[in-house]
Amino acid sequence: MNMHAQPQRTRAEAALAEAFAARVGELPGDGAVVLTRDRAIEQIKAGLPTRRVEAWHYTDLRQLLTSVPDRDAAAHAESIAPLVAGSTVLPVLNGAANGEAPAIDGLAVSRVSDRLVDGSLATALAPQDGDDAVGAFNAAFVTDGWLLDIADGTAPERPIELQHVHGAGQAHVRLPVRVGTGVTATIVQRETGAGPALVSSVSNLTIGDGSHVTWVIVQEQPEAVTHLGQFNAWIGKNAKLTLFVMNTGGKLVRQEIRVRTTGEGADFTLRGVNLLAGDTHTDVTMTLDHAVPMTSSTEVVRNVAMGRAQGVFQGRINVHQVAQKTDARMACNTLLLSDEAAFFTKPELEIFADDVQCGHGATVTEIDAGHLFYLMARGIDEKTARGLLVKAFVAEVIEDLEDEALVEALEAKLEGWFAAHG
């Protein structure tokens, strides 16, 4: 018996418990899945994380999650144009994998709902630990998604776009991807839809030895959407993952990135762009485990915050005792464009190996007056000049991606955001 009095449930916690009770009968899954779902909802009922939980220090989910819209299975959602023209699109519309799996050599695709029904996803469904609220949300409520298996030695010519589009209400999807050995692939994950909505999206990526994967997450939720995202990756021997995350929307956003190097020579690159406006809260929290010797990583996150937007970047790098010769570099730079905007950065390095190179840096700045004068001295009016400089600050990170089509598409997103918020 717990000695502490159970605190009174918040409205959101009560609504989630009720929603689960009402829907558990129709959620896909075998016995093992149902048990996992049950444990997950217990975790939520025990209380959403507060600022007293270290990993949620700047995002008090218990306080910030004020309403839980009802799931509406009939809500309208339709597929959107892919980020890169010609991509292989796999849509998940309002929580249901939509359409037929494409026939592409080396690509095995199945519906997550089927894998829940046959129980093969039961183990992977469980939340990772007691603080894994995003994992618990998703485990309890997930309805569907696409499961991808990319065969050894293949290199799909076109990007694969996993398109998660929801209607008003709730949508919970899961995107498990297994990449074999010696693969080169680009995967785009889109997160958008209509509000008001509560959305969770969990992606699990395992990368086989020697493979190179570029994964791009573009989150452009409308306002009045709570977005709980989690990206998990395990990088094998001499494999390389480049993860690009762009957040440009949502009312309350938590995007977790959990990466582990599992084979020597693994390399992880994170490039993040957060474009924050309005009265919103966006939290990107990364946990990176250098778990074997000789692995490397660089993380660069650039943030632009205007209006009353609040942003958070927590970057935690754990260098395990065996992980000698780790090389890890992390930087987070923020441009604050209004007095009421705020950004919190918390870099953490926990190093148990003694022969490593690790560094981190964080800056919060305003527009450089010298740069502004230089542009204006060429006849560029102040508003345009400021816009150019802010875009340049972010574009630098986008240009780190080597794929020209991706760079162009992301820069177009950038232009669009500034056109709407400039």
Partner 1 sequence: MLEIKNLHARIAATGTEIIRGLNLTVKDGEVAAIMGPNGSGKSTLSYILAGRPDYEVTEGEILYNGESILEMDAAERAAKGIFLAFQYPMEIPGVATMEFLKVAMNSQRRQRGEEPLKVADFLKRVKEAAGSLEMDMAMLKRPLNVGFSGGEKKRAEILQMKLLEPKLCVLDETDSGLDIDALKIVAEGVNALRSPDRSVVVITHYQRLLDHIVPDTVHVLYKGQVVKSGDKTLAHTLEAEGYAGIIGEAA
337 part of the interface to partner 1, by CB under 8 A? no
- Omega of the bond prior to 102 within 30 degrees of 0, cis? no
104 part of the interface to partner 1, by CB under 8 A? no
374 part of the interface to partner 1, by CB under 8 A? yes
| Closer CB to partner 1, 134 or 401, in the complex | 401
Cα angle: 321, vertex 324, 329; to 5 degrees: 100
| Closer CB to partner 1, 103 or 377, in the complex | 377
Least distance in Å: CB of 416 to partner 1? Answer: 17
Helix ranges restricted to H, 61-132: 61-64, 112-117, 122-125
Number of residues engaging partner 1 in binding (CB under 8 A): 24
201-209, 289-297, 317-325, 370-378 -> range binding partner 1 (CB under 8 A): 370-378
Least distance in Å: CB of 324 to partner 1? Answer: 34
What are the tokens at 245?
A: 């995350």
Which helix (H) or strand (E) is 40 found in, with range?
A: helix 31-45
Residue 80 CB partners (closer than 8 Å, separation 6+):
163, 165, 190, 192
| Closer CB to partner 1, 4 or 383, in the complex | 383
389 part of the interface to partner 1, by CB under 8 A? yes
Strands of the sheet with 281-290, listed across from one edge: 107-111, 146-150, 169-179, 197-207, 225-235, 252-261, 281-290, 310-319, 342-351
Q: Which of 379, 402, 404, 419: binder of partner 1 (CB under 8 A)?
A: 379
Residue 307 gets the label, from left (phi > 0), alpha (psi -120 to 50) or beta, of: left
- Gap between the Cα atoms of 295 and 357, Å rounded: 11
CA neighbor of 404 nearest in space, from 107, 159, 210, 104:
159
266, 235 Cβ separation under 8 angstroms: yes
Least distance in Å: CB of 189 to partner 1? Answer: 25
Q: Which of 2, 25, 378, 419: binder of partner 1 (CB under 8 A)?
A: 378
Q: Which of 39, 325, 371, 421: binder of partner 1 (CB under 8 A)?
A: 371
CA neighbor of 205 nearest in space, from 189, 221, 228:
189
373 part of the interface to partner 1, by CB under 8 A? yes
- Gap between the Cα atoms of 130 and 195, Å rounded: 29
- Gap between the Cα atoms of 133 and 61, Å rounded: 9
Q: Which of 224, 375, 405, 407: binder of partner 1 (CB under 8 A)?
A: 375
377 part of the interface to partner 1, by CB under 8 A? yes
Cα angle: 59, vertex 65, 68; to 5 degrees: 155
72 part of the interface to partner 1, by CB under 8 A? no
73-81, 197-205, 275-283, 382-390 -> range binding partner 1 (CB under 8 A): 382-390
Q: Which of 32, 362, 376, 405: binder of partner 1 (CB under 8 A)?
A: 376
| Closer CB to partner 1, 104 or 380, in the complex | 380
Q: Which of 381, 408, 416, 420: binder of partner 1 (CB under 8 A)?
A: 381
Least distance in Å: CB of 392 to partner 1? Answer: 3
335 part of the interface to partner 1, by CB under 8 A? no
Least distance in Å: CB of 395 to partner 1? Answer: 5
Cβ burial of 105 (10 Å; 0-12, 13-18, 19+) is exposed
370 part of the interface to partner 1, by CB under 8 A? yes
Q: Which of 54, 99, 384, 420: binder of partner 1 (CB under 8 A)?
A: 384
One DSSP character per residue, 349-386 reads EEE--SS-EEEEEEEEE---HHHHHHHHTTT--HHHHH
Indicate the DSSP class of residue 104: B
Q: Which of 124, 388, 405, 407: binder of partner 1 (CB under 8 A)?
A: 388
Cα separation values, 384 from 303, 368, 376, 396, 418, Å? 19, 14, 9, 18, 11
24-32, 51-59, 131-139, 372-380 -> range binding partner 1 (CB under 8 A): 372-380
392 part of the interface to partner 1, by CB under 8 A? yes
367 part of the interface to partner 1, by CB under 8 A? no
List of residues contacting partner 1 (CB under 8 A): 369-371, 373-382, 384-385, 388-389, 391-396, 399
